Structure 1
Amino acid sequence: MTAHAAGGPITPARRARPGRLLKRAAVSLLIALVMLPPLFPLYWMLISSLKGPEELATTPPTWFPGDITFGAFSEVFSVVPFGRAFLNSALIAGVSTLSVLVTSVMAGYVFAKYRFRGRDVIFWAVVATMFLPPIVTLVPLYWLVSTMGLADSYAGVMLPWLANAFGIFLMRQFIADVPDELIEAARVDGAGEMRILWKVITPLLRPALVSLALFAFVFYWNNFLWPLSILQDDGKYPVVLALSQLLSYSTSVRYQNVVMAGALIASVPTILVFLLAQRAFVQSVSRTGVKG
């Protein structure tokens, strides 16, 4: 029996199959190698939080905990008011992110679809603020918030971040692609400007809004310098400031697993937000890449 009779004719597709498999394996290996550096700190936090103090002190360090223990996770909440700090961060990041979405859509709509004197000058002046280092605006912002009587308050922490230049720029770019005919048709039907904005335009911006919400939430969750400057009451500290309190225990091997457990808990919300938003984020990037 010939090879043709046993397995059928050897077509070009069958000859190319091993090459395709090899190419896929090479691509998978390359992706794995690229993913290892950013994922390694997360892995190290996880295994260190599951180790006991004795195992953390061993040299060389072990790559997997021999005796898994979860005591460090409960100890985090007894060493510092971590639960309260977690809620503080959720409040600050949540309200700030929601405000950025609303103000960015409204300002982006005005800059994209309205014609008025000085529009471009104002828009590029707003964009220019993106290039100011945060340390430059720290003292003026602190003076402004303090003179308003909002120092050491949740409102004082959130006030400077209720609008965002990057968000306005991003929404303006996306809204500019919405056909003017669609807006005019809504006006002919009797829709007001706010109804057009929230009922007609905003549903078309879903990938961009999700991407902006992702960036804003991660930034406000991890924001350290401004809360440190404006807050004095540790009961109002966000989670990043609570982590800085935990770092005072890191000099002792006994508490290194507690520090790692706190860092891991603080990372969970941003990881979950990214996992939930990744599909819309990829759609936003893909849409941006095919413009023009």
Structure 2
Amino acid sequence: MSTTTSHPTRRTAIRWTQLQLHLILLVTSVLMAIPFLWMLFASFKPLDEIFRYPPSLLPEHWTTRNYDTGFAQVDFVRAFANSVTVALSVTVISLLTCAMAAYAFARIRFAGRGILFTAFLCTMMVPPQLTIIPLYIIMGRIGLLDTLWALILPSGLFNAFGVFLLRQYVKGIPLELEEAAAIDGAGRIRTFVTIVLPLLRTPLVALGIFLFLGQWNSFFYPLIFLNSTSNFTLPLVVNQFKGALTSDWGALMAGVTIAAVPMLLVFLLAQRKIVEGIALSGSKS
């Protein structure tokens, strides 16, 4: 009798715990969304309402002057195209090189593989500020300064985090699939393209989103390598609204909104793939 009555009590306790967790997550989500909502609504406010005290979330007088001013002062369309070009190029190149390197480290046995992989991972601990000077010199020597290639090549050809993430997943793919392909006469390249690469779809999507978001929001490298306004990406264009003495805060909020909304939509649409990719890759030994 006691066992029968304990089950409803246990289920009630579990449901109450789940309700508490959901309430905590809801409150946390609202708190995290407030800065973004304030930025969004501030882009439609006159300047006096942005600094009004006590502040209000919704504008009393809606206006698009901030967007008109922003598009009149800078070329948002060209900057948007530059950001898309850099982000897409780095993402595609990185996914290809990371997948090949991950397969090599996970499946191909060669002398010094462990030491090389450890050294490869150690590069993640090196701050980018330490390598920016030699990288700047290299880009200057090969004539790529003030071009989008100066942003694409260094980030696209070397990504230790991407290699580590995909290697963990490749190690979890059954080796029997590759052995069967070898019996049918498939070489390393064919096995990688036809068997391994399709099975990496989930972590590749997750890694691709991380890479795209990182390049879209990148400010440090474009600031160093780009000089011509025609090559500026969105972060550099938005930074033009903030001066040393005065800043056009309305136009700044409009510019940041233009830069942030596309990435927010990408994240909302692909958040399940991100979680799946990290969970599956992290569970591999």
Common fold by TM > 0.5: yes
Q: Which residue of 1 aligns with 2:25?
A: 31
Q: Give the Cα separation in 1 of the matches to 2:126 and 2:198.
A: 32
Q: Which residue of 1 aligns with 2:243?
A: 248
* 1:221 counterpart (216, 220, 223): 216
* 1:83 counterpart (77, 84, 87): 77
Letter in 1 for 2:222: P
Q: Give the Cα separation in 2 of the matches to 1:162 and 1:178.
A: 25
* 1:133 counterpart (124, 127, 130): 127
Letter in 1 for 2:119: A
1:280 aligns with 2:273: yes
Confirm or deny: 8 A CA contact 2:90 2:152 kept in the other structure.
Answer: yes
Confirm or deny: 8 A CA contact 1:46 1:264 kept in the other structure.
Answer: yes
Q: Give the Cα separation in 2 of the matches to 1:22 and 1:172.
A: 40
Task: Say if 1:185 and 1:132 are closer, same or farther in 2 by CA, change over 3 A.
Answer: same
TM-score normalised by L of structure 2? 0.90
The answer for unaligned runs of 5 or more in structure 1 is 1-10
Q: Give the Cα separation in 2 of the matches to 1:153 and 1:267.
A: 24
Confirm or deny: 8 A CA contact 2:213 2:263 kept in the other structure.
Answer: yes
The answer for unaligned runs of 5 or more in structure 2 is none
Q: Give the Cα separation in 2 of the matches to 1:114 and 1:18.
A: 53
- Give the match's secondary structure for 1:247: coil
TM-score normalised by L of structure 1? 0.88
- Identical pairs, percent: 38
Deviates more, 1:104-113 or 1:198-207: 198-207
Q: Give the Cα separation in 2 of the matches to 1:158 and 1:230.
A: 11
Instruction: For residues 2-34 of structure 1, give each alpha carbon's deviation from its aligned partner in whole angstroms, at most 9, with x where no partner exists.
Output: xxxxxxxxx877777876664444222201222
Q: Give the Cα separation in 2 of the matches to 1:288 and 1:231.
A: 36
* 1:106 counterpart (95, 100, 103): 100
Q: Which has the larger radius of gyration?
A: 1
Q: Give the Cα separation in 2 of the matches to 1:193 and 1:167.
A: 21
Q: How far 1:247 sits from its partner (Å)?
A: 1.7
Confirm or deny: 8 A CA contact 1:72 1:261 kept in the other structure.
Answer: yes
Q: How far 1:227 sits from its partner (Å)?
A: 1.2
Letter in 1 for 2:198: P
Between the two proteins, the alignment pairs up a number of residues equal to 281
Q: Which residue of 2 aligns with 1:58?
A: 52
Confirm or deny: 8 A CA contact 1:105 1:171 kept in the other structure.
Answer: yes
Task: Say if 1:84 and 1:183 are closer, same or farther in 2 by CA, change over 3 A.
Answer: same
* 2:90 counterpart (96, 110, 113): 96
